[in-house]
Amino acid sequence: MYYYLPSKMPLFLYLVFLVLGLHCAPLKSSEGKVTTCHSPQQNATLYKMSSINADFAFNLYRRFIVETPDRNIFFSPVSISAALAMLSLGAYSSTQTQILESLGFNLTDTPTAEIQQGFQHLICSLNFPKKELELQMGNALFIGKQLKPLAKFLDDVKSLFETEVFSIDFSNVSAAQQEINSHVEKQTKGNVVGLIQHLKPSTIMILVNYIHFKAQWANPFDPSKTEEGSSFLVDKTTMVHVPMMHQMEQYYHLVDTELNCTVLQMDYSRNALALFVLPKEGQMEWVEGAMSSKTLKKWNRLLQKGWIDLFVPKFSISASYELGTILLKMGIQDAFADNADFPGFTEDNGLKLSNAAHKSVLHVGEKGTEAVDVPGVRFLDQPEITLLHPIIQFDRSFLLLILEKSTRSILFLGKVVDPTEV
C-alpha cells in the first residue's frame, strides 16, 4: 500500500553528484551488481556526444569561474552530464527539453531516444574493465517508500544508466541520512563520510552519482628527484611552496601561439591521459574563454613528441559546489519550479528538483593519481645529459584535464590556482 502526499506539499528531488578520484582500494568492476553491459559499445552517437559533452564541460567551467573567482576549480563533467541525462528520463515537455538543451543537444538533430542510447554506450564503455586502469561510474537512486515508481522508469535507469534503486523512508530523517551516507561510504571505500547532512522530510528522491578513477603514469616520476619547498606563484603578490616532481622524458607537447599557452600531454599506462595547460603570465582568462571541443581537436592534431625537462607539482585538489543556481542560469529552470513536469518517475504529482550538489577530489603524485608504492617499478640512474631540452615548469596557475581515450570523455576538469589549498 502506498501513501500519497497531499498535492500542495512540495516534493523535492535532490541530485548529489559525488565524484571521486581518490587513493581508494581497487574497485572490482561489476562485482556483485547486475549489469546489462557486456562489452564496450561504439556508435556514431557516442563520438558526436564527446564534442557536445566537452563543450558542456567548458561552459560549466566558465560558470564556476564566476562563482569562485581566483580559487581552485575541479569537477567531473562526464559525471554531471550523465546524471542530468538520467534526470531527463523522468521529465516531459519543456522540463526535459531544458535539461537536454542545457547539456548542449539540438533535439532536432539528435532525438531524445538517441541521446539516452548514447549515454548508455558511454557508461558501458567507461565501466568496462580495463587493465591498469580503475574507472567506475556509479549511480544510486533513493526513492521515498510512499511513492510508486513506474516500472518503465525503473527498467530504464537500470538498463541505460546502470543504476541501483533503493526504497527509503525519508520521513525518518536521521535514519534516511544514515542509510544514504552508509551507502556512499561503502561505495567510496570509507573516503566520504557524512555526505548528506541537512535532509528535509519532504524529500522524495535522491540521486547519488560517483566516479572512481585511479591510474599510474606511463612514465612515473622518481620520488628521489622530487624537490621539496619549490616556489609556486599563486598571484602577483602570493607565493606558496610545494613539492615539485622533476623528470627528463619524452612527452607530447606544443606551444599554442594563438592562445598563448603551453600544452603537455601526460599519458597514463592505459586508456587515459592528462592534459596540463600552462598559459603565459596574464593570459589565463584568454585561454579559459577560448576552451572548446574544437580547441581539444586542434591540440590533438598539433601535439608532437620530444624531450623536455619537466617540473610538475605534487598536489591534491578538491572542490564542492551547490549546482542549483548554476543550472538555473544555464537554462534548467522548469525543473526547479512548481510547474516541473516529471511524470516519468512515479504516478505521484508535484515533483520538482530542489538542489544538486557536486564534490570532487584528486591526488596527483609521482606514480599517478595515487601516491602509493607500486611493485615492480624501478628507477635507473640517468646519465648526465649534455643536450639542452625545453623546460616546462608548472610553477603558476594551470589547467588540468583528464580524459578517457576510447570515449574521448573529459573525466575531470579543473584549474590549479593554489596547489596547497585542500
User: 221-253 pLDDT, tens per residue?
Assistant: 999 999 999 999 999 999 999 999 999 999 999
Range of the domain at 230: 223-313+389-416
Span 397-419, mean pLDDT?
A: 95
Kindly report, residue by residue over 127-138, the tens digit of the pLDDT: 888 777 788 777
Q: Are residues 202 and 131 in the same domain?
A: yes
Top-confidence residue, 378 or 215: 215
d(CA 19, CA 80): 9
Inside any domain, residue 248: yes
Q: With respect to residue 421, please indicate whether it lies within any of the assigned structural domains.
A: no
Statement to judge: residues 283 and 338 lie in one domain: no
Choice among 1-10, 311-320, 336-345, 348-357 with the minimum mean pLDDT: 1-10
Per-residue confidence (pLDDT) for residue 191, from 0 to 100: 66
Q: Are residues 61 and 161 in the same domain?
A: yes
Q: What is the CATH number of the domain that holds 307?
A: 2.30.39.10
- Amino acid of residue 129: P
Sole residue written with cell 562526464: 78
Distance CA 114, CA 107 (A): 10
Task: State whether 172 and 306 are in the same domain.
Answer: no
Give the residue carrying C-alpha cell 616546462: 392
> How many angstroms separate the CA atoms of 331 and 54, rounded?
18
CATH number at residue 111: 3.30.497.10
Asked whether residue 94 falls in the same domain as residue 47, the answer is: yes
Does 173 lie in the same domain as 82?
yes
3-state helix, strand, coil in the chain (%, to 5): 30, 35, 40
Candidates 418, 15, 19; CA nearest to 212 is: 19
Q: Please give the grid coordinates belonging to residue 84.
A: 542530468
Residues 208 and 227 in one domain: no
Q: What SS3 state is found at 199?
A: coil
Q: How confident is the model at residue 359 (pLDDT cuts 50, 70, 90)?
A: confident
pLDDT of residue 37: 57
Residue 383 lies in a domain: no
Element (H, E) at 214: strand 203-215
- At 281-298, the pLDDT tens digits run 999 999 999 999 999 999
374 domain residue, yes or no: no
Q: Is residue 262 part of a domain?
A: yes
Domain count within the chain: 2
The larger pLDDT score, comparing residue 359 to residue 403, is at 403
**Mean pLDDT score of the chain:** 84
Quote the Cα angle for 93-95-96, to 5°. 70
Report yes or no on whether pTM surpasses 0.75. Answer: yes
pLDDT of residue 31 exceeding 50, the answer is: no
Tens of pLDDT, residue by residue over 73-129, are: 999 999 999 999 999 999 999 999 999 999 999 999 999 999 999 999 999 888 888
Segments in 234-344 forming alpha helices (H): 284-290, 293-302, 324-329
